[in-house]
A = this chain, B = another copy of it.
């Protein structure tokens, strides 16, 4: 079970959430991403580092560009944490969720 703090911290900033939405369309370089915001490449790079620490993307050099790719598995700790609040969602849902959890434990 991954610690949830890095991913929650990564999601707390609106610029970072927007970066994730852009990366959902396709992998992008730092300069490409910076073109979508009114801030410097250095600032974008910092955000990417935080997102990487949160496990939400991977960065790989391609030639002289650094390409960031969304890592959807990174959202898993968020769902795991939210599951604690099962009790507030109704019985049908609870049954479904415990079934899902059982499946995942079988992996």
Contacts and interface: CB of A to CB of B under 8 A. Distances in A.
Contact of A85 (B12, B75, B93): B75
Q: Is the interface of A mostly helix, strand, loop or mixed?
A: helix
B17 A8 contact: yes
Given A5-B14, A78-B82, A95 B100 contact: yes
A76 B92 CA distance: 12
Interface of A: 4-5, 8-9, 11-12, 14, 17, 20-21, 24, 70, 72, 75-76, 78-79, 81-82, 84-85, 87-90, 92-93, 95-97, 99-100, 103-104
Given A8-B12, A12-B12, A14-B5, A72 B96 contact: no
